[in-house]
Structure 1
Amino acid sequence: MTDALTVLFMPESAYGPTNQCIGLGKVLLDRGHRVVFAAERSWEARLSPFGFVEDLVDLAAPDPDAGEEAAGQFWIDFIKETAPEFAKPTVEQLATFVQPTYAALIDGARYAEPQLREIIARQRPDVVVEDNVVSFPALMTGDAAYVRIVSCNPLEVRGDDVAPVFSGYPADDRSGWADFLTEFDRTHDQTWAAFDAWCREQGAPALPRRDFVHTSTAANIYVYPRELDYTDARPLDPTWHRIDSSVRETEEQYVVPPGVAERPPGSGLVYLSLGSLGSADIGLMQRLVDLLGTTSHRVIVSMGPRADELRLAENMTGAATLPQTTLMPQVDLVITHGGNNTTTEAMHFGKPMILLPLFWDQYDNAQRVHELGYGVRLPTYSFADADLLGAVDRLLADTELRQRMAAVGAGIRARDGLHAGAGIIERVGLEHRARHGG
Structure 2
Amino acid sequence: MIFVCGEGLGHTSRCISIGRELVCAGHDVHFGAYGYSKELIERKGFKAHKVPSEITLVGKAGSLNLKKSILATFKRGQFLGLIKIRKLLKRTRPDVVISDSYFMGMIGAKSRSLPCHMIVNQSNMEEFFKGKGVSNMILAELVKKFYTGMFNLADKVIIPDYPLPHAVCRKNLEFKKKTWKKVFFSGPLIGKTFEETTAKELKRPHVLCTVGGFGYREPIFRKVIEAAGMDNSINYTLLSGPSVDPESLGTLPENVIILKFINDQFPYMKASDLVIAPGGHSTMMEALSFGVPMITVPDKKHNEQQNNALVIEDDGLGKKMDYSASPEEILENIKLLINDEKYRNKLSEMKELAVELNGPRAVRLLVEETANR
TM-score bin (small chain): 0.7 to 0.9
Checking the alignment, whether the CA contact within 8 Å between 1:269 and 1:332 is kept in structure 2 is: yes
Checking the alignment, whether the CA contact within 8 Å between 1:26 and 1:50 is kept in structure 2 is: no
Of 68, 74, 87, the match for 1:100: 68
Matched residues, percent identical?
Answer: 21
Distance of 1:412 and 1:165 partners within structure 2: 30
TM-score normalised by the chain length of structure 2: 0.81
One-letter identity of the residue aligned with 1:146: C
| Cα shift readout 1:312-343 (whole Å, capped 9, x = no counterpart) | 64323334134233332221111111210011
Of 297, 320, 341, the match for 1:356: 297
Tell me by how many angstroms 1:349 deviates: 1.6
Distance of 1:408 and 1:43 partners within structure 2: 28
Query: 1:307/1:254 Cα in 2 relative to 1: closer, same or farther (>3 Å)?
Result: farther
The answer to whether structure 1 residue 401 and structure 2 residue 343 are counterparts is yes
Q: Which stretches in structure 2 are left out of the alignment for 5+ residues?
A: none
2:84 aligned partner: 115
One-letter identity of the residue aligned with 2:188: S
Tell me by how many angstroms 1:250 deviates: 9.1
TM-score normalised by the chain length of structure 1: 0.70
Of 317, 327, 342, the match for 1:385: 327
Tell me by how many angstroms 1:116 deviates: 1.5
Query: 1:314/1:141 Cα in 2 relative to 1: closer, same or farther (>3 Å)?
Result: farther
SS across alignment from 1:421? helix
Query: 1:408/1:219 Cα in 2 relative to 1: closer, same or farther (>3 Å)?
Result: same
The answer to whether structure 1 residue 124 and structure 2 residue 93 are counterparts is yes
**Higher relative contact order (CA closer than 8 Å, sequence separation 6+):** 1
Of 21, 25, 28, the match for 2:19: 25
- Count of aligned residue pairs for this structure pair: 356
Distance of 1:27 and 1:108 partners within structure 2: 35
| Cα shift readout 1:396-432 (whole Å, capped 9, x = no counterpart) | 121122122112211222221121122212322332x
Checking the alignment, whether the CA contact within 8 Å between 2:123 and 2:174 is kept in structure 1 is: no
Checking the alignment, whether the CA contact within 8 Å between 1:338 and 1:362 is kept in structure 2 is: yes
Checking the alignment, whether the CA contact within 8 Å between 2:235 and 2:255 is kept in structure 1 is: yes
RMSD: 3.4
Checking the alignment, whether the CA contact within 8 Å between 1:223 and 1:244 is kept in structure 2 is: yes
Of 219, 222, 227, the match for 1:284: 219
The answer to whether structure 1 residue 422 and structure 2 residue 360 are counterparts is no
Query: 1:138/1:346 Cα in 2 relative to 1: closer, same or farther (>3 Å)?
Result: same
1:342 aligned partner: 283
1:187 aligned partner: 136
Q: Which stretches in structure 1 are left out of the alignment for 5+ residues?
A: 1-6, 61-71, 87-95, 159-163, 168-179, 196-206, 432-438
1:46 aligned partner: 40
1:84 aligned partner: 61
1:316 aligned partner: 256
One-letter identity of the residue aligned with 1:239: K
Checking the alignment, whether the CA contact within 8 Å between 2:298 and 2:309 is kept in structure 1 is: yes
One-letter identity of the residue aligned with 1:302: L
Distance of 2:3 and 2:103 partners within structure 1: 15
Of 123, 133, 138, the match for 1:157: 123
